């Protein structure tokens, strides 16, 4: 049943892609190898032909998830003024759509507290991801010194991660919306002053 090199690499990619969704949706610990191999249309036994361990896959998925996140954001921001781009990024991150589809969204928000307890490799991947997302915002502040722009973006990203996480925890639907809306309003206002 050996597969061609191309098929093999496609399979590997399929596992990573679908696993990155599963991890964000159900959590790292709650997603079993059997589940994610099934999500890729395979049985669990073949996992170790592609990866050394679950931890290695988790780290790789974190990177892939961030990259797809960055791409989504860039699409939302394209063809806009600086002001418009910032508004689009914030609105997209703090949307109810993002809140309700953690599997397609930001892995930092979706797995925050689990990442904080993860192994070094995963945390390094997450760190790179955080910096990529922060940079996406920081480079909008062309008139600020790079350091100041990065610091501004770090705080804004913290607010977005916190607000999205809280909006997913809270049982009161109104409060959940308020969290997203108020954070968005605050960020658009604050960040406009830094353009």
Partner DNA sequence: TGTACATCAGTGAACGCGCGTTCACTGATGTAC
Q: Which residues bind DNA (CB under 7 A)?
A: 1-8, 11-12, 31-35, 37, 42-50, 53-55
Residue 27 CB, nearest distance to DNA (Å)?
11
Residue 132's H or E segment, with its range, is helix 120-138
Among 47, 93, 141, 157, binds a copy of itself (CB under 8 A): 157
Which tokens hold the place of 56? 């290695």
What Cα–Cα distance (Å) separates residue 27 from each residue in 5, 58, 80, 94, 109? Answer: 31, 10, 35, 20, 11
173, 189 in Cβ contact below 8 A? no
**Residue 31 is a binding residue for a copy of itself (CB under 8 A):** no
Residue from 42, 115, 136, 149 binding a copy of itself (CB under 8 A): 115
78 binds, among a copy of itself, DNA, none (CB under 5 to 8 A by kind): none
**Distance (Å, whole) CA 83 – CA 180:** 19
Q: Note whether 73 and 136 are within 8 A (CB).
A: yes
Whether residue 110 contacts residue 137, with contact meaning beta carbons closer than 8 Å, is answered with: no
CB of 49 to a copy of itself, least distance (A): 28
Tell me if 19 sits within 8 A of 40, measured CB to CB. Answer: yes
Contacts to a copy of itself from residues 67-106, by CB under 8 A = 102
User: Can you tell me the distance from the alpha carbon of 137 to that of 87, in angstroms, rounded to the nearest whole number?
Assistant: 10
Smallest separation (angstroms) from a copy of itself to the CB of 116: 4
Toward DNA, which CB reaches closer, 53 or 143?
A: 53
Q: Which one of 19, 64, 149, 163 is in contact with a copy of itself (CB under 8 A)?
A: 163
Distances (CA, A) of 174 to 5, 17, 108, 127, 167: 52, 33, 24, 32, 10
Site size with a copy of itself, rule: CB under 8 A: 46
The listed partner (DNA, a copy of itself, none) that binds 145, CB under 5 to 8 Å by sort, is none
**Residues of the shown chain interacting with a copy of itself in the complex, contacts defined by CB under 8 A:** 26-27, 29-30, 102, 108-117, 120, 123-124, 126-127, 130-131, 151, 154-155, 157-163, 165-166, 168-172, 175, 178-179, 182-183, 186, 190
């Amino acid at each position: 049943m050996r597969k061609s090199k191309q098929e093999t690499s496609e399979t590997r990619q399929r596992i990573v892609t679908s696993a990155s969704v599963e991890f964000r949706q159900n959590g790292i610990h709650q997603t079993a190898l059997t589940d994610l191999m099934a999500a890729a249309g395979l049985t669990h036994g073949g996992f170790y032909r592609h990866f050394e361990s679950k931890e290695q896959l988790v780290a790789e998925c974190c990177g892939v998830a961030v990259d797809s996140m960055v791409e989504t954001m860039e699409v939302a921001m394209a063809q806009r003024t600086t002001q418009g781009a910032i508004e689009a990024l914030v609105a997209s991150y703090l949307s109810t759509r993002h809140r309700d589809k953690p599997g397609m969204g930001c892995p930092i928000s979706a797995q925050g507290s689990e990442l904080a307890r993860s192994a070094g490799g995963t945390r390094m991947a997450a760190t790179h991801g955080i910096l990529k997302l922060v940079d996406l915002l920081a480079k909008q502040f062309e008139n600020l010194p790079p350091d100041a722009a990065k610091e501004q973006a770090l705080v804004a990203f913290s607010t977005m991660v916190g607000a999205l996480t809280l909006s997913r925890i809270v049982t009161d639907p109104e409060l959940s919306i308020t969290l997203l809306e108020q954070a968005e309003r605050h960020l658009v206002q604050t960040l406009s002053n830094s353009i």
